[in-house]
Amino acid sequence: MSDIESRLAALEEQVRELRDEREIRELLSRYGYYADACLDDDYLALFTEDGAMDVSQGGSEDPYAVLRWEGQEAMRTFLTDRTAVHGDGFAGRSLHLQGNNLTVTVRGDTAVAAGYSFIFHQDGPRLKLLSASTNEWHLVRAADGWRIALRRRRAVGSPDTAEVLTSTDRA
């Protein structure tokens, strides 16, 4: 392989990595937009058929208790369950924010992203912080783009917060 061919191959690989990271960041942005607008079908389409949510509960007696929904039907249940806070007054009054400190590690057709997220909700004249959490996103490349295979979310202070934040090392 000539020097030009090897440089071109290296550039093509860099462009693919940058494109993958951009697509993953876009996917995670859409996650928040679709959740806020209660676009449940679009939201579910971001996940693989066997995709899962694995989240600490937040506001219960044990804020670190973990709940899990796996597969499209269970995920649809998640969207209608009170723990997801979808219901009257949710659409147009909430903000799911993924932190700009998101790290993304792509290895072939799989990737892991980690970072912070916040959910705000308009409650009368006040904006309330509903949750602050660390997140681990396991993603897979599908024929038509990246999909979420697993989202692990832990409320700030959860015992496994550090594990979730260092998850990109295990992609």
Kindly report, residue by residue over 94-153, the tens digit of the pLDDT. Answer: 888 887 788 899 999 999 999 999 989 888 889 999 888 999 999 999 999 999 999 999
Helix and strand counts by DSSP (H, E) for the chain? 4, 7
Q: For the chain, what percent of residues have pLDDT higher than 70?
A: 89
Name the phi and psi angles at 11, rounded to 5.
Answer: -65, -40
pLDDT band at 4 (very low <50, low <70, confident <90, very high): very high
Angle at the Cα of 31 from the Cα atoms of 162 and 19, rounded to 5 degrees: 85
Assess whether pLDDT exceeds 80 at residue 76.
yes
Q: What is the pLDDT of residue 49?
A: 96
Nearest to 135 by CA among 55, 24, 44, 26: 55
Q: What is the pLDDT of residue 109?
A: 96
Residue with tokens 């057709």: 109
Nearest to 135 by CA among 107, 157, 165: 165
pLDDT tens for 17-36 read 999 999 999 999 999 899 88
The C-alpha atoms of residue 12 and residue 20 are separated, in whole angstroms, by 12
Residue with tokens 């009257």: 88
Q: Regarding predicted confidence, which is higher, 60 or 30?
A: 30
Q: What is the pLDDT of residue 162?
A: 78
The C-alpha atoms of residue 47 and residue 140 are separated, in whole angstroms, by 9
Q: What is the pLDDT of residue 52?
A: 96
CATH of the domain at 158: 3.10.450.50
Assess whether pLDDT exceeds 70 at residue 14.
yes
For residue 115, what are the domain limits? 3-170
Is residue 117 classed as helix, strand or coil in its secondary structure?
Answer: strand
The reported pTM is: 0.87
Question: What single-letter DSSP state applies at residue 159?
Answer: T
Q: Please give the tally of structural domains in the chain.
A: 1
